[in-house]
Amino acid sequence: MRLYLVQHGAALDKQEDPARALSRQGIQEVTLMAKALGDAGVRVERVWHSGKRRAEQSATLLASQLMPEGTIEWVTGIDPLDPVQEFVADADVWLEDTLVVGHMPFLSRLVSLLLCGEPDRELVSYLPGSVVCLERGSAGQWTLLWMLRPELHGETVT
């Protein structure tokens, strides 16, 4: 089972948009990321987001390439400051490859807890639009397969 943990794309400033929708840059970065992942053959059975506008928009863009059929779902328990332990307990029994679009510091803490059992130990450095791919092996141990950050694209969407 693979778990794709995505930080939403760059969002508008709170003064400009209290709902903090994706900025033009955020839309471009997530669109490029979705295309790169789709071209690499990444497919998921589920796409979840936190319910915040920027996460929902990012999830929609990613799902268009990675889960052509299916429903994007809003889930609770993945807001920026939510504890990660309950999510980990649930993820340990999933069978479906799942993409989760969320926020910092939740995502970073989740990766750290899954990989080394210490949520406060920063193991990855997220930027908006970044994707971390983890895989749960047959013994239940999680491993980091790869991480992709938007700056690696070097192109823009027109």
CATH of the domain at 143: 3.40.50.1240
In a domain, 90, yes or no: yes
In a domain, 114, yes or no: yes
d(CA 57, CA 42): 19
Residues 126-140: what's their mean pLDDT? 95
Task: Identify whether 150 is preceded by a cis peptide bond (ω within 30 of 0).
Answer: no
151 has a pLDDT exceeding 90: no
Res 82: pLDDT: 97
Q: What is the pLDDT of residues 77-131, one digit of tens each?
A: 999 999 999 999 999 889 999 999 999 999 999 999 999 999 999 999 999 999 9
157 has a pLDDT exceeding 70: no
In a domain, 134, yes or no: yes
Across the beta sheet with 142-148, what order do the strands follow?
Answer: 72-74, 46-49, 98-102, 2-7, 131-136, 142-148
Domain extent for 62: 2-152
d(CA 76, CA 139): 28
Res 158: pLDDT: 43
Q: CB under 8 Å to 9, separation ≥6 — which residues?
A: 22, 23, 25, 26, 27, 29, 30, 54, 57, 58, 61, 128, 129, 150
Amino acid 105 reads P
In a domain, 9, yes or no: yes
In a domain, 157, yes or no: no
In a domain, 98, yes or no: yes
In a domain, 158, yes or no: no
Q: Give the total number of structural domains in the chain.
A: 1
Contact 84, 59 (CB under 8 A): no
37 has a pLDDT exceeding 50: yes
Instruction: Name the residue with tokens 């471009």.
Output: 28
In a domain, 79, yes or no: yes
Helix and strand numbers (H, E) in the chain are 4, 6
